[in-house]
Amino acid sequence: MQLPSLRAIHMWQRNRDVFVRLWWSLAPAFMIEPILLLLAIGLGFGAYIGVIQGEEYINYIVPGILASYAMTTATFEATYGAYFRMEYRRTYDAILATPLNIEDIVTGEILWGATRSVITATIIVVVSLFFGLLNSWWALLIPVAAGLVGFLFSCLAIIFVSVASSVYSFNYYFTLFIAPMTFFSGAFFPLDNLPSAVSRVSPFLPLTHSVRLMRSLVTGEFSSSAIFSLIVIIAATAVFFLAAAAVMRRRVLE
């Protein structure tokens, strides 16, 4: 295994250029959908729930939407996007004929997944500000946190891509891993109300720590658990990044 170099930025630029040309066809996923979810669930469903943990339901779910969409945006890009570039378009084969190595390609893919998370989170932040849902200056760091969350989940997605036998394999990844985390991470309702078996698993889910970090930035209230979650995210990102580079090298070159 080699170390990634600054040439990885060229892979990021390649994905960026494609996105700039096709952004209009991708807009419903990263612009419209999270806004509709925020309004539909926050205002619609929230009218029946009322106050939860001392705040209106729409305020409660803002951190959850930020974290979950940072996760799903990066995951979609680093699963389907990366797999199609690797297997169908043979983009990796063409790039490997240049000075870039597989570690550069993987790093560029992960960086782009994180960038997509930043874009989506920034849009949600702007909408939340418009509706007066953010009252802390710490909210300015939400895109940075979203980038970190996106980086982590891009690493996890790349690891799964390295063992995926076909594009249909991602149905298992989203159904058995991504979707359950959305409901069992405290994004849309408190973990205290979950069954004890689920409550014991939740602390080990990366989205749980992502939601906790986002909630601290939204409210401006930092606890020891939020700092711990930040440390967990950073540590997990480092481990899974090295793992992603190693397993993709085996998938592409061996």
Domain of residue 53: give its range: 8-253
Contact yes or no for 70/146 (Cβ under 8 A): yes
Q: What is the pLDDT of residues 133-183, one digit of tens each?
A: 888 899 999 999 999 999 999 999 999 999 999 999 999 999 999 998 988
How many structural domains are present in the chain? 1
Q: Is 197 within a domain?
A: yes
Q: What is the pLDDT of residues 48-102, one digit of tens each?
A: 777 777 788 888 889 999 999 999 999 999 999 999 999 998 999 999 999 999 9
| Confidence grade of residue 188 (pLDDT, cut at 50, 70, 90) | confident
Residue 118 and residue 127: Cα distance in Å, rounded? 14
Per-residue tokens: 16: 């960026």
Does residue 1 belong to any structural domain of this protein? no
For residue 3, being part of any structural domain is answered with: no
- Angle at CA of residue 196, ends 192 and 200, nearest 5°: 90
Q: Is residue 228 one of the residues assigned to a domain?
A: yes
Distance separating alpha carbons of residues 138 and 214, to the nearest angstrom: 10
Let me know if residue 2 belongs to a domain. Answer: no
Q: In the 3-class helix/strand/coil scheme, how is 198-229 assigned residue by residue? A: HHHHHHHCHHHHHHHHHHHHHHCCCCHHHHHH
In a domain, 179, yes or no: yes
